[in-house]
A and B are shown apart, each in its own frame.
Chain A
Amino acid sequence: MAELTYRDAVTRGIAQEMKRDPDVVFLGEDIAAAGGVFKTTVGLLEEFGPLRVRDTPISEQAILGAAMGAAMTGLKPIAEIMFSDFIAVCFNYLANEFSKHRYISNGQTKCPLVVRTANGGGARFGAQHSQSVENWCMMIPGLKVVAPSSPTDVVGLLAASVRDPDPVIFLEHKSLYPIKGEVPDGEIVDTIGTAKILRSGRDATITALALMVPRALEAAEKLKEEHGIDCEVIDVRSLVPLDTQTILGSVGRTHRLFTVEENPRLCGWGAEIVSIVADEAFYDLDGPPVRITTPHLPLPASDVLEDATIPSVDRIVDRVKRSLNA
């Protein structure tokens, strides 16, 4: 066991996979010599050399296109898109190219690649550098979408993503980079498509992703201490594939469902979960499912305004308390 930041866990995960497999290569803007704008890739150039860790121009289409062509022909590329907002300028590759080529070609081709990107708010960067774009990715058949909330999960899910035979969008949360956690020694490989129950409870199920996970956990503590409400907290971890069984099982025990989503409200991942639960576990529910989301708004830059926009611990506590006491 060693204490590691979420940021250093990214480096460790990449290094673990590059050491294991010489076909794993890594490209992106400022990732090699500079070690990444979030310092998530420091030392990789020195360890693996300039043929495997390559700085690119500011050409997001070239980055993702090159990753795809390399993946189709035998490499296992990891491509970094600096901020997840920039996925918008190379969205074609997610929406039309590496997500669909296997299908289009009737199973002839493969695209085993990982797109890593810094997602989410809290850094006061304003509307174009703070978005939570998980719903942009989740809606595309052919992609897998992963978003870890802890250093250990970063290493294990990153390893699983690199080893996965399909294209994976790996959403790192930029506000989680400084958080610390105990990470086991040795190789860590997790399983994509599995949610984790991080706290057991009897009264309500709270599902959360990435930065919303620590907030949901803190809210659950407060709800217990201050209001005697005992919440189960599920870290969804992977939006595609989605571990609905863990969620349905939990709702079957608690009879209430809350989603805590950082993405703007419309078409957020929680809507899909609520719809599945309504479809398949309606009679397990003792009350309406509740989505706690960023409102359907661009994000303001100001710290006070941003904090009032993204779901906070207090907002989660308030919504759960009001719903259950109603």
Chain B
Amino acid sequence: MTDENNAEPKTVNRRAWLKLIGAGAATGVLPAGAAAANDSMGAMHHPAPKAASPADEPVPVYEFLNGDEAAFVEAAIDTFIPPDEVGPGALELGVAVFIDRQLNSGYGRGDRMYLQGPFIEGTPEQGYQLRMTPSELFRNGILDVNAHVRDKYKRTFDALSEEDRIAVLTQLEKREIQLPTVPTEIFFNLLYDLTMQGYFADPLHGGNKGKASWKMIGFPGIGVMYADKIEAYRNKKYMSEPMSIQDLL
């Protein structure tokens, strides 16, 4: 993205959000070209969604994430899935709001996990063995990453340049950074999975605004009866305006 952030030691939600709106507007000028470009790839079913005008977009209100955490999440998801001519970015689709709600939900609070001790480190095949719920793990992971980044770059993750953010996430993915509190791999996978879930889940859950990721890949959403289509559309592109849960209520 831009270099201007390099000069900024700290970003608050609000700033991250304004930055996003800038990004959204930038993709907003692309739809026609993007659609054409993608059609030639034979994979684009729908024109890219029109970015909402900044005036329509309320600043996201987070239930769970504090300012530092929100800034981290916004920056991380924007790095995982940046906006470009292929399709929208995670931030503009509300994935940060999705993650915030998930962490505050029964899932985030570990309500269906077995969380009694003794807690003993096992083999990878034995799976998750920490005493932390997903939201506790997430919080600790952000503190860990920000501590590492502050050490190395003298600023928090969200204030890094795009290049540096990519570098940090890559090192996390390759486990080249050892986080002190949470296992790097587990934190990275949680952050990654939540990002993908928010990007592709039904908009009901706060992400995938405007069903934009569905439009991008050509997934027609829910509620379509295909009994009379499955034969007719064999090896044919199927197009329809995707429907979501709220559209059909």
**Do A and B make up one complex?**
no
Point out residues on B near A: beta carbons under 8 Å. none
